[in-house]
Amino acid sequence: MLNYHTHTHTHKNLVGRAEKALIMAFNVAFLSTLLILSVVFSPGNALSLNYYDKTCPTAESIVTNTVKTATSRDKTVPAALLRMHFHDCFIRGCDGSILLNSKGNNKAEKDAPPNGSLHAFFVIDSAKKQIESVCPGVVSCADILAFAARDAVVLSGGPTWDVPKGRKDGRTSRASETTSLPAPTFNISQLQQNFRQRGLSMDDLAALLGAHTLGFAHCSSFESRIYPQNSDPTLNPTFADRLRSLCPVNHKAKNLGSANDPSPTTFDNTYYRLLLQQKSLFHSDQALLTNPKTKGLVYKFASSHKAFTEAFVHSIIKLSSITGGQEVRKDCRVVN
């Protein structure tokens, strides 16, 4: 029979081994998670809210004033800048790769079909030129685009937020990589996978698609929902008729399309209310109603502008914090 002290000592050893095993297992799992996150988020470029406080304190105000001036002349600028930032962040992180020009045999992201309608690059160029005259070689083009996207939302009547700073600019931009952008034809599973690969949740998906409250969509992005007639039972029939009148069958014009919602220059929650009326443009929008989690968020955001804007701010900060660049470009259109 075991002596009580011997039994206790043996029990302590067993518990000690078990604790060590658990700690090792936890450490392995934790390190694995960190490894995955490092691939997704590339935290080598640590961001901070006061990154330019001493080196270029006027950077954000310069960008804000530039965006304001451009918007006063063209009301479509905010939607363009917000979309530009999204498309930048979804490929190689928020590294300004969307701003690079094609060169030689390399076709850049901006010249790929999904980005063919992007515009307002001149806003970033103008802000960069002004900042370079004050703080040369300090502020990245990726940060300027992140500031501009925030200003675009604010100038459209949306919320504001403190943009984390310190992104670096990437040296690579390939049109072929734009196939990884979420497509307007995606179903909910494809959207979930696409966002998950970037460390974004279903909550982020539901909130960030609300950016479709701004802007204009070309016929090519939603024609599969209106032709042939009655091909999409999730589309309101009267709304479908209206879209067909805007996008006649076999049309050749490249500039035909529809505003994303009746108030395409106002950042509001109309997008979600239209979803519930089956009046969304994209299949990927309507897909939010095919999943219990995102469907619940659509109802929540449709009934509360505050809930939407708070969720959007949380998610866009998360998205814009995915980094991946290596330098601070002197000219946003070319690598140093």
DSSP three-state, residue 53? coil
What is the rounded CA–CA span in Å between residue 98 and residue 142? 9
| Residues assigned a catalytic role | 87
Helices within 156-291 (DSSP H only): 188-196, 202-208, 223-226, 237-246, 270-276, 283-286
Q: 170, 97 in Cβ contact below 8 A? A: yes
CB 100 within 8 A of CB 110: yes
**C-alpha to C-alpha distance for 144 and 125, rounded to whole angstroms:** 9
For residues 186 and 163, what is the distance between their CA atoms, to the nearest angstrom? 29
Q: Which residues have CB under 8 Å from 225's CB, separation 6+?
A: 231, 232, 235, 240, 243, 281, 282, 283
Residue 54 CA to residue 5 CA, distance in Å, equals 64
38's torsion region: left (phi>0), alpha (psi -120 to 50) or beta?
Answer: alpha
**Could you give the CA distance from residue 151 to residue 155 in angstroms, rounded to a whole number?**
6
Tokens of 234: 């999730």
Number of Cβ atoms within 10 Å of the Cβ of 108: 21
What whole-number distance in Å separates Cα of residue 102 and Cα of residue 174? 8
Task: Report yes or no: 319 and 163 within 8 Å, Cβ to Cβ.
Answer: no
CA dist 274 and 132 (Å) reads 43
Provide CB contacts within 8 A for 295, sequence distance 6+: 288, 289
Q: What's the chain's length in residues?
A: 336
